[in-house]
Amino acid sequence: MATIAFIGLGNMGGPMLANLIKAGHGAHAFDLSENALVRAEAAGATRAASVAAAAGAADVVVTMLPAGQHVRAVYMDEATGIIGAARPGALLIDCSTIDVDSARAVAGAATDAGLRMVDAPVSGGVGGAEAGTLTFMVGGPDDAVEAARPILDCMGKAVVHAGGPGTGQAAKICNNMMLGIQMVSVCEAFMLAKRLGLDAQKLFDVSSKASGQCWSLTTYCPVPGPVPTSPANRDYQAGFAAAMMLKDLKLAQQAAASSGAATPMGSMAESLYALFCNQGDAGALDFSGIIRMIDGQS
C-alpha cells in the first residue's frame, strides 16, 4: 500500500480520496476548504498543513484542481509547489481537467526534476467518484502510466492509456465536446417531438433502438420518465453541472484554435451552454437541464 498525498478535495476529489483510503492506502490531504479537510479526516486521512507538506510525506501525489492556472501554481511554484517538495522518484497524478498546454508544461517540469507524472482526467461525474466507477484517460510515459494504474484502479473501473503527456487531457476534451453536442441534439429532438404531438416515451422507444441512439439519450435522457435514473427525474440536480460542461467546451475551443482544427458544432454548443449558464443559477444545474432553455423556459 502506498502513502498518497491528495490535493483538491471538492465534489470529485473528496470521494476519490475516500476510495483510496477504503482500498488500504495511507493518505495526507490538503485543501483550502476547512469543511473539505474535516470530511477527509472523517474518511481516515491525515490533514496536511500545506501542499508541500502533503507532497513531501507521500510516495504518490494525486491532484484534482479547477483549472490549468491552479495546476501550474500547485505543481510549479518554486517555494511551495509539489515538484520542489516531492520525494525523489515520486509519482505525480493530475486528475484535473485542464488545457493540454498546461498539462504538458507541468509534465515537462516534473520530468526535468526526475519525477514521473501522468495527466489522468476522469469521466463519470460525482456519482462515479463516489461509486469508484470513474474512467481515467491517461497521458504519459509507459512506465509512469503502469505505476499509476493500481492507484487509479482503486477509484475507477477503466484506465485508458491515451498516449504521451497531455493526451489524457486531449481525450477528455474531445469526448466532452461530443457529449455536449449530442446532448443539445437530443434536447432539440425531444422539444421538436413535443411540438409535433409525439410522446416523449415513444420517441425514446424508437431512437434508443435506432440510429439516433447515444449516451445522452439512453443513459442521461433529458426529459423525465424514459430513464428513471437521469437527472431529469430529480429536477436536474447536477451529476455533471452545466458550468463544468461549459468549462470543457471552452477548453475544446481553445485547443481547436491553437491546433487549427475546425469544430463548428463544438463552437455552437459552447455558445448555447454559455447562454444557459448566464441564466441565473442555471450553471449549477445538470448539463442536461439545457433542455429548459431549448424549450423556451426562463
The answer, yes or no, to whether residue 125 has pLDDT greater than 90, is no
- Is CATH 3.40.50.150 correct for 170-294? no
The answer to whether residues 238 and 285 touch, using CB atoms and an 8 Å cutoff, is yes
Q: What is the pLDDT of residues 53-99, one digit of tens each?
A: 999 999 999 999 999 999 999 999 989 999 999 999 999 999 999 99
The answer to whether residues 151 and 23 touch, using CB atoms and an 8 Å cutoff, is no
User: How confident is the model over 110-119, as a mean pLDDT?
Assistant: 97
Name the 3-class secondary structure at 159: strand
Catalytic choice (22, 157, 172, 250): 172
Q: Give yes or no on whether 3-163 and 170-294 have one common fold.
A: no
Residue 298 banded pLDDT, cuts 50, 70, 90? low
- Report the percent of the chain where pLDDT is more than 90: 95
Name the 3-class secondary structure at 74: helix
The answer, yes or no, to whether residue 267 has pLDDT greater than 80, is yes
CA quadruple 226, 230, 233, 236: dihedral, nearest 10? -140
pTM value is 0.90
Q: What is the pLDDT of residues 208-223, one digit of tens each?
A: 999 999 999 999 999 9
Question: Which of 3.40.50.720, 3.40.50.1820, 3.90.1150.10, 3.40.50.300 is the CATH number of 3-163?
Answer: 3.40.50.720
Distances in Å between the Cα of 96 and the Cα atoms of 65, 66, 193 are 5, 7, 38
The answer, yes or no, to whether residue 105 has pLDDT greater than 80, is yes
Cα–Cα dist 211/186, whole Å = 12
Cell digits for 12? Answer: 470529485
The mean predicted confidence, pLDDT, of the chain is 96
With both helix axes pointing from N to C terminus, report the angle between 34-43 and 13-22 in degrees, rounded to the nearest 10: 20
The domain ranges of the chain are 3-163, 170-294
Q: What is the pLDDT of residues 24-61, one digit of tens each?
A: 999 999 999 999 999 999 999 999 999 999 999 999 99
Name the 3-class secondary structure at 157: strand
172 a catalytic residue: yes
Distances in Å between the Cα of 84 and the Cα atoms of 55, 140, 143, 178 are 9, 20, 22, 37
Cα–Cα dist 162/136, whole Å = 10
User: Could you give phi then psi for residue 25, rounded to 5 degrees?
Assistant: -80, 145
User: How confident is the model over 160-167, as a mean pLDDT?
Assistant: 98
